[in-house]
Chains A and B, each alone.
Chain A
Amino acid sequence: MRKFMVFIIALIISGPLQADILVIVNAQNPVAALEKKQVVDLFMGRVSAFPGGAPAQTLDLKTGTPLRADFYKRLTGKSEAQVDAYWATLVFAGRMSPPKQFTDDLALIGEVVKNKMAIAYVSRQTLPGGVKVVIELPKSAQ
């Protein structure tokens, strides 16, 4: 019985990991949809503006969060450590900084609702009206 309970909990925890990841922006952002490449360029610091010219601000989860590793794996094909090393290289060179980190989904969603420049990722869930999805990253879309 106890073993069964652990399995259920494990399923519940791992549930979001297996689900689609949604990339969201403020609902007032004129951008309706983004290509995967555009998302990569934004999150990896290559561009700092949405298509159309509006400045963009990437929001990230805290290092060590399972969704974060999943997101980068799905987006770039690189591991979390590789992505961190990438940022470390850029930070060391100067004038560059990685996306601002938040502790959980709720904090992220709240920031996106408040910030018109924000772009962030969350697991599939019921989203509030202040945000909109610009791209879905399905698991299979490696």
Chain B
Amino acid sequence: MMELFVLVPVLLAFLFCLIFRDKRIRSTGYVSVIASLASLAMVIYMALFLQQGTQSIDWFSVGGYVFSLQVTSAHINMMLLFLVALISPLIMIYSLGFFEDVSEHRRFYAEMNLFAASMMLFSISANFLSMIIAWEGLGITSYLLIGFWYAKSEAARAARESISIIIIGDVAMLAALIILFNAYGTTSFYSISAQPISYPLYAAFLLVVLAVLTKSAQFPFSGWLPKAMEGPTPVSAFLHSSTMVKAGVFLLILFIPVLLKLGLLPVILLLGAITAGIGVLNALSGKHIKRILAYSTLEDLGLMLVAVGLNAVFAAILLFVTQTFYKALLFLDAGSISRANGEEYDITKLRESGGNRLIFITAVIGVLSIAGIFPFSGFLGKVGLEVSANSIYTYIFLVLVEIGTGFYIFRWLFIPMKNSGRMEIKGKLKSTPVSMILPQVLLALFVIGGISVYFFLPSYLGIKSLSLSYLRVIAETIFAIAGTLVAYYIYRRGQTVKVSKGLFVFVHSIDGINWFYLKFAAFIEAISKFLGFLDYFVYMLFYLFGFLSLWVGKRLRNLVNGNVNMYAAWIAIGFALILLALVFRI
């Protein structure tokens, strides 16, 4: 029960945003910041003082079935809850400065609070029933926030695309829930994990994996995430990099034992590797400052799936935790930079610092971290993965991804940096308010301090730590620096487009992947058209039914003509009819 109180402040803030409309628009932001800080305080209290345990609340019972919600304070759930509660106030503060048009505040904060509540509920849920409530909340708020600037046709289209992919996963998750409830009479994570292998379990977990693939934007459903960058930058930093898209991964981490038992891990490994590959290749040639980061998020998520597929729990968790900080940081930097340059998103036309040294310094910290250079926290995830690699092919793949990451992320940094000297894009820079700088600085500190999770997480979560040798650490850093150096040599003179023409010809393999998408989409569309054809008959059926009902209603209407004698007569007729019916039956 205690865990659910974390939701209360954000839900109250959500109601506040809904109810107070006219004069208090400015205050919605402040109220949301305070609410998220209150949630954070409660989470810290719980993390320190609450025993691990699972509580069950009966929601409703009907026909002998009891539907109950379960929440847990297991340490791994507390970890995710803490991450969400830690990032959420930072994003709320950042958004205070980000939206210049105050009239947008109310809608934005209402949706953000609803999202934060869903994500917190997701973090603490311990059965499928409470999880799916949160899961749906994540989907719908993601849709709303991607399409936040709905007047832009790209944003509206991206929102539609994301919801139509995510809904596949929602349906799959619901089907899994129904299958599990039918088979075992419970939807609790723990009791389902303990079940022996059976067909329902297999079917349900195939569906769960499908749902995870859509939510975490994994191959073949990875298309929506880069397009989701049409949403405001705080949304990209919060939903589409650090929290919501990782919900699926978190589920997989929870269910590693079951997936191992069912033999699904190699599939997850393969899909994760493909997604990571797609992410890196696209990031290498991208130009949109946020979209490069989105492809990088695809890569991170893919690597997390790889870690799950390798059954390396701790590596997956290290990647999971450290990625939260550096990716949120980089998105906030991207948002500050492009805002300072007047909403310009093309890295070839941007200047790096946005007129503020702190933006640049924090960006460098984030970049060093994502590239995996010691001692920034991102390094932990990368090295953890490489240590866990089970074969030489996996290892080579991971090294290539590592080098690619170092390359594209420094390209992301160097191109705008070199732009500053170029004549044609001189213009006035907008100053960045403190409310935007502060979260970036804090996140940069978290990125640096994140290295500490390696030391206390294993004992906190009760899982096996990794044994890192110096050799591994040095090798990993060398790979990261190798990618960096390549990027430096190519872009040191400010060239911008060299990559797609010269060194990396195979970047064009992206087209092949897109071709696959198009074919897949055409296939689905054909099915949809057929279903739509069938749907027309159903529609006609309903139309006829409605028409008939109206016709009957109009005839019946004459029965009630305002004449009370008639009513009394009908009472007598009714009595007689019932009497006759009974007499003839007896």
- Whether both chains belong to one complex is answered with no
- Which A residues lie at the B interface, using CB under 8 A? none
